[in-house]
Amino acid sequence: SGVMCSYNAVNGVPVCLDPLQKAVRDSWGFDGYVTSDTDSIDDAWVRHKYVATGEEAAALGVSKGGCDINSGNSYYNRLPGALAQSLCTMDDIDRRLFNAFKVR
C-alpha cells in the first residue's frame, strides 16, 4: 500500500518534508511507501522557500519527512549533493529504498 504527500504545507512545513509521515507509520502502523506528488520535494525549496537549496529539501525528504519515492527528479538530481554535504546519510536513503522495494 502507499500514500502520497502533497504540495501544500501544514503549520508552515511542506508536507513531504514533515515528520508527520513518520508519525503515520508509528501511530497507525502504516507499513507501505510514501510517494511525493510530482516535484513537491523541489517545491519546498522553489515555491515554499522552506529551505535554501534543493539538496536540503531532498535530504529532509529522506530523513525527517520519510518520503520514500520522489515523483520527479529531485532525489536523483539532489541527493548526491546532499550526501556530499552531510545533510543526510546513506542509512536515510536505504530506509526509503527498503520501503519502496518491499511492496514490489
Q: What is the pLDDT of residues 24-41, one digit of tens each?
A: 888 888 889 999 999 899
DSSP letters spanning 11-77? TTEEGGGSTHHHHHHHHH---SEEEESTTHHHHHHHTS--SSSHHHHHHHHHTTS---B-SSSHHHH
Annotated catalytic residues are 37
DSSP 3: E
Percent of the chain with pLDDT over 90: 72
Distance CA 9, CA 37 (A): 13
Q: Would you give the end-to-end CA distance of the chain in angstroms?
A: 10
Contact 14, 43 (CB under 8 A): yes
Q: Is the pTM of this model over 0.85?
A: yes
Q: 58-85: per-residue pLDDT in tens?
A: 999 999 998 999 999 999 999 999 999 9
